[in-house]
Amino acid sequence: MKSVALTTPLYYVNDLPHMGSAYPTIAADALARFYRLQGIPTLFVTGCDEHGQKIQQAAAKFNRTPQEHCDLMVRGFEELWNLLDIKYDRFVRTNDPRHQPIVTEFFQKVYDRGDIYQGQQQGWYCVACEEFKEERELLEDKRCPIHPTVTCEWRDETNYFFRLSNYQSQLEELYRTRPDFILPLSRRNEVLSFVEQGLRDFSISRYTPWGFPVPIDRQQTLYVWFDALLGYLTGLVAPEEEPTLANALKTWYPINLHIIGKDILRFHAVYWPAMLMSAGLPLPDRVFGHGFFNQRWTENG
Amino acid sequence: MGFLTKDGLKMGKTLGNTIDPFALVKQYGSDAVRYFFLKEIEFGRDGDFSESRFVEILNADLANSLGNLLNRSLGMIFKYCDGKVPNRGYDLSNSCNQMVEQVRQSYANLAFQQVCQAVLAVVREGNKLIDDRAPWKLFKAGAQEEVEQILYSILEAMRLVSLCLYPITPNLSTKIIEQLNLSPHSTWECQWGILVPGTELPKPQPVFERIEVKP
């Protein structure tokens, strides 16, 4: 191996880090330290995902501006990583002005490919997931199955869509020819069965102010996941370099490993490779989905 | 140490309703947190967390097995070998070669649990070597060379153990390597026999304090 670029998720800053954010970060740090010991040039990227309506709501709850809220939460992440001896090389913040030109450039590539179109979107929206839900998935009173305390909102919007459906067969080909693209096996199977049901285009814009404007329509902002995934590319640009896609791709790309939680598997193992295919970029080597832990207190606890 | 919550669950007082990583790391230190989560839960699968299990694992693996092995060996080196690295021995060299190879593969596969298990296997073997060969008896019987070879083997194994664990427990590994009067790990120096006989060793210090649970 000539070099290794690995990432943790870019953690959502609606709240301070929890053990579920510390866990993959510890694993990524251990791995980065191992590769450095082996003498292999290593880039360890972590960071925070700062856009979206959920952040706005969290900020409002504490009477902060979104920016103040993000700054405060980011300090919490940095403090915890310091306490845990996490030696990352890059800390990406998705509302960093350096991120925007890369997002815009990437968007243009996908747009030029003909994979972005305007469409109508109606449905139940979970703000906690930042995702539309199928009506049949919802619990009683339109509550989200993943966030049972959150009541989904009815949305009827004109949004921009990404033609995920164009990539159905290319993704299936990817999973077939590179069986270790998604690990462990249980996660791979999860993705295969999701993709098998048929991929639907997803909307990549919202009418919320806290985000980057859609380059072709300033009325809307980019969907938080679209720009969050691109944060991995911004993380590859050296701090002293101009933030361009070319600079992101020249040294550390493609990324060797994305360590993620199983809750964000679909975004990394389906949406992300499809976006990269659309932009004509090589894919990461591997997406590894870790598990969760139950907390259990025993008599001796 | 627990108290009752409104749910009737007993919980560690540092932890509240969910595990607070800030409280956990401030109370137990970063190596403890890093080691527990990578050792106890197979990476990629779901697992359980309980504070009692947390304390149990750290005490068993790091304080008792690993910490004691280093401490008792250094104690004997100060008694029988003048506080210097003894003459070379090779008692654990095959096991260590296997450990290093297994550990290298396990990291590459993100199998952190297997890393820890491979390391613990060598630590157990080291403790068994001392129990079986009883260097204190050999010393009394005048078998100085054998005593030295055994103790060298333990020290060299500890050096490799600390190398293998360094990515997971960097502080603990650095303390171990300082006890061996070597500079901190910066390369994968995995061959047997790096310790030089005759090198002065610092006074033994515990490398991982046992966690005492207050009643």
Measured between beta carbons, the chain B residues lying within 8 angstroms of A297 are 2, 9-12, 50-52
A285 part of contact set with chain B, CB < 8 Å: no
Res B215: pLDDT: 61
Integer Cα distance of B215 and B211 in angstroms: 12
Q: Which residue of B has its CA nearest to A258?
A: B110
Q: Does the pLDDT of residue B4 top 90, yes or no? A: no
The pLDDT tens digits of the residues spanning A157-176 come to 899 999 999 999 999 999 99
Domain annotation covers residue A145 = no
Res A81: pLDDT: 98
Preferred mutation among B13, B26, B42, B49 to probe A, highest tally of A CBs within 10 A: B49
A1 — pLDDT class (breaks 50, 70, 90): confident
Domain annotation covers residue A142 = no
Sorted by sequence, the CB contacts under 8 Å of residue B95 that are 6+ apart come out as: B121, B122, B125, B157
Q: Which residue of A has its CA nearest to B169?
A: A30
The partner residue sitting opposite B46, judged by closest CB among A27, A183, A291, is A291
Tell me the shortest Cα–Cα distance from A229 to chain B, in angstroms: 21
- Domain extent at residue A37: 4-121+160-290
Tell me the shortest Cα–Cα distance from B89 to chain A, in angstroms: 26
The residue-averaged pLDDT of B127-142 equals: 98
Res A216: pLDDT: 95
Sorted by sequence, the CB contacts under 8 Å of residue B165 that are 6+ apart come out as: B35, B115, B116, B119, B172, B173
Domain annotation covers residue A44 = yes
The CATH architecture that domain B2-179 belongs to is Orthogonal Bundle (1.10)
Q: List the 7-46 stretch of A: residues with Cβ below 8 A of B.
A: 16-19, 21-23, 26-27, 29-34, 37-39
The residue-averaged pLDDT of A106-111 equals: 98
Domain annotation covers residue A69 = yes
A156 part of contact set with chain B, CB < 8 Å: no
The residue-averaged pLDDT of A114-128 equals: 91
For A214-227, b/e burial (b = at least 16 CB within 10 A) is bbeeeebbbbbbbb
Res A136: pLDDT: 85
A63 part of contact set with chain B, CB < 8 Å: no
Rounded to two decimals, the ipTM of the complex is: 0.92
Res A297: pLDDT: 45
Res A299: pLDDT: 37
Q: Does the pLDDT of residue B13 top 50, yes or no? A: no
- Break chain B into its structural domains and give their ranges: 2-179
Measured between beta carbons, the chain A residues lying within 8 angstroms of B49 are 19, 293-296
Q: Please, which residues bridge with residue A295 across strands? A: B49
Res B17: pLDDT: 58
Q: A34: closest CA among B169, B35, B31?
A: B169
Domain annotation covers residue A147 = no
Q: Does the pLDDT of residue B6 top 80, yes or no? A: no
Measured between beta carbons, the chain A residues lying within 8 angstroms of B171 are 85
Domain annotation covers residue A27 = yes
Contact between chains at A33 and B167 (C-beta distance less than 8 A): yes
The residue-averaged pLDDT of A241-270 equals: 96
Domain annotation covers residue A131 = no
Domain annotation covers residue A130 = no
Integer Cα distance of A247 and A194 in angstroms: 34
Work out the mean pLDDT of chain B and round it to a whole number: 91
3-state SS, B134-170, equals CHHHHHHCCCHHHHHHHHHHHHHHHHHHHHHHCCCCH
The residue-averaged pLDDT of A202-219 equals: 93
Res A116: pLDDT: 97
Q: What is the CATH number of the domain that holds A285?
A: 3.40.50.620
Which residue has better confidence, B37 or A136? Answer: B37
Q: Where are the alpha helices (DSSP H) in chain A?
A: 19-37, 53-61, 66-83, 99-112, 168-177, 185-196, 224-234, 245-250, 265-266, 272-278
User: DSSP string of A1-57?
Assistant: ---EEEEEEEEETTS---HHHHHHHHHHHHHHHHHHHTT--EEEEEEEE--SHHHHH
pTM for this one? Answer: 0.92
B199 part of contact set with chain A, CB < 8 Å: no
Which residue has better confidence, B9 or B41? Answer: B41
Tell me the shortest Cα–Cα distance from A112 to chain B, in angstroms: 38
For B100-117, b/e burial (b = at least 16 CB within 10 A) is bebbbebbeebbbbbbbb
Number of domains in chain A: 1
A196 — pLDDT class (breaks 50, 70, 90): very high
Res A157: pLDDT: 84
The pLDDT tens digits of the residues spanning A63-74 come to 999 999 999 999
